[in-house]
Structure 1
Amino acid sequence: MDWNNLRFFMELARAGTLHAAARRLEVDHTTVARRIRALEQQTGATLFTREADGHRLSEAGRQLLPKVEAMEAAFRQMERSGPLAMAADEGLSGVVRIGATEGLATRVLAPALAQFSRLHPRLVVDLLALPRLVHLSRREADIVISLERPARGSVVVAKLADYSLHLYASRDYLGDQHGPQTVEELAGHSFVSYVDDLLFTKELQILDELHRPQQFALRSTSILAQYEAVAAGAGIAVLPAFVAASDARLVRLLPQHHFKRTFWMSMPQEARQLPRMQAVWALLREVAEREQLRLLAP
């Protein structure tokens, strides 16, 4: 069986679309399609089902993938044991795609991943900083950091970190006032929050736990857009402390009230033995531990 065909199969399984796999492999998408057809002829099985948002593994494909990844892992082990193993640039290689919430990805993970990439120039890290849920089951990412613990599927799950959120407003918005001192005094203020019908998890329905606003100055799917709006004086918002606590323009309101949420990290069970996955997984846990005080800022 042609290893190149298997390599194209593996990348399409990870990327989910012909164009994404082609970018990773630095070929045209028609080449990916041709390689997959050739492999399906060799195996006598349909390995993917075509769906509106891309390619999803069939049952035969799901059975084949861990075998191909085991072959890849064995090949990498041979590489590390060979005469080139001591070369500085013969370290981790391949692509690891991480899906994470926008605030965590941009404010906490990106700097650490940039440094990590410098140490491993043959490793490509895709960081999906999206205000929506990224799905492992659809092969949108190799590692997903979410606000809800995955409840099913053949996945490895670990608690990454807790983080705190508080009410903030800008000094410009408050003017000469001290700001609301009680929950009841929140009435009449303008708020910045999420767009309710576009929330991707119930874990972000935080403001309603304290106060149901009557007036919104701005609503956005982006937590960073909310943060910038609050800093510009638009109103009051619940923001992660790791985003807002160090901004001198902002004032924390009602310090007796705070919120806590949890980041969960998951990856497919069959990928846990891959060296690059192990390394990035360990790095993410290290970053969360190192940033614990910042994530849980009181």
Structure 2
Amino acid sequence: MLNWDDHHLVLTIARSGTIAGAARRLGVNETTVARRLSAAEAGAGTTLFSRMDRKLVASAAGRAVVAAAEAMERALAKASREEEALHGTVRVTSVLAVIEHLIVPHLAQFARRHPKLVLELIGTNETSSLARREVDIAIRLQRPARGKLVARRLGRVRFRMAGRSDQEPAGYIAYERDLDDMPEIAAIRARFGATSPRARIATLSGIRVASEAGLGAAMLPDWMIEPSRGLCVIDASVSVERPLWLVVHQDVKERPAVRAACDWLAEIVTGRAGNGDKMSAV
């Protein structure tokens, strides 16, 4: 069995044509090169070079080792180029609850894995920022209907009706008015007889705090209910599941930095949201 050092040695000798030339390239003496070649041939169980007109010419076995070494060299060069490209900033947008509860707790892991790459996390419900190239990646609860985008389903988020365990809710809390058609809001509105909400709050974090304070019932993801000391599921029959999508623009999806960020986000978010899918065009 030959290791990378053996492959590199054989490749260098093949390119140099002589022990002396290989020694100069490797920065060692000729005796060392000759000794290492003998050891490599012993490891391969065959002669790797023959002498022809004072040149060393690779045998059939030697040519196979050279080809393998060149493939390794190309793979190392590609990996090095990609590693060099893993620097700068990747802008990621999602609703604040996803950022704060699913992504931020794991950022230290991302920093260790990609120390030269910075994630800029932007909490917003804005859906057109990908098309305008204001962000690189979006994580959304709705799949975009059109555009030069590719999407991957990361899993499903289950919303359940939560409230204080020590009191009957007097009403419910909703998002801002233009989000009344969201499935979870439609479900809780139906539960309370289509009455008006007691308050409208733009973020899930704000809704959770208001519900903990006793304002009313709220539709919250399981991962916001479970760690709360004041909330519990108060009506298990009011439950909605929504897919969680990772979306990128087609023009940037192959950028090494964006691809690395997508892979990591899919890894950590899918772990909390369930089984995901492969990327597919919108």
Which structure 2 residues correspond to residues 16-165 of structure 1 after superposition, within 5 A?
81=77, 85=80, 92-133=86-127, 135-165=129-159
Counterpart amino acid of residue 272 in structure 1? K
Number of the residue aligned with 2:25: none
CA distance in 2, matches of 1:272, 1:152: 16
Relative to 1, partners in 2 of residues 1:119 and 1:140: Cα closer, same or farther, differing over 3 Å? same
Cα 1:125–1:274 shift into 2, 3 Å: same
TM-score (norm: length of structure 2)? 0.62
Contact 2:207–2:218 at 8 Å: present in 1 too?
Answer: yes
Name the CA distance, whole Å, in 2 between partners of 1:200 and 1:100.
Answer: 19
Match of 1:235 in 2: 216
Task: Report Cα offsets for 1:194-221 as digits up to 9, x if no partner.
Answer: 1213x39745534235434535433211
Which of 260, 272, 280 is the aligned partner of 1:279?
Answer: 260
Quick check: 1:162–1:261 contact (8 Å CA) kept in 2? yes
Tell me: CA distance 1:292–1:137, structure 2 relative to 1, closer, same or farther (3 Å). closer
Structure 1: runs of 5+ lacking an equivalent: 1-77, 180-185, 294-298
Query: Which has more radius of gyration?
Result: 2
Shift of the 153–116 alpha-carbon distance from structure 1 to 2, 3 Å rule, reads same
Which digits, 9 at most, give the CA deviation of each residue in 1:47-81, with x for residues without a partner?
A: xxxxxxxxxxxxxxxxxxxxxxxxxxxxxxx9x73
Aligned-partner SS, 1:136? coil
C-alpha separation in 2, matches of 1:255 and 1:200: 21
**Residues 134 and 101 of structure 1: is their aligned pair in 2 closer, same or farther, counting only changes over 3 Å?**
farther
**Equivalent residue, structure 1, for 2:232:** 251
Contact 1:133–1:200 at 8 Å: present in 2 too?
Answer: no
How many residue pairs match? The answer is 198
Deviation, 1:248, is 2.9
> Closer, same or farther in 2 for the Cα pair 1:128/1:121, shift >3 Å?
same
Is contact 1:97–1:143 with CA below 8 Å preserved after alignment? yes
TM-score scaled by structure 1?
Answer: 0.59
Q: Secondary structure at the match of 1:162?
A: strand
Aligned AA for 2:90? V
Q: Is the 8 A contact 1:132 1:200 kept in 2?
A: no
**Matched AA of 1:146:** R
Query: Displacement, 1:142?
Result: 0.4
> 1:229 offset after TM fit, Å?
0.7
Aligned-residue CA RMSD (Å):
2.8
In the TM superposition, structure 1's runs of 4+ consecutive aligned residues that sit over 4 Å from their partners are none
Look up the match of 2:12: none
- TM-superposed CA distance for 1:259, in Å, is 0.9
Q: Once the two structures are aligned, what percentage of the paired residues are identical? A: 26
1:174-185 correspondence runs (5 A): 174=167, 179=168
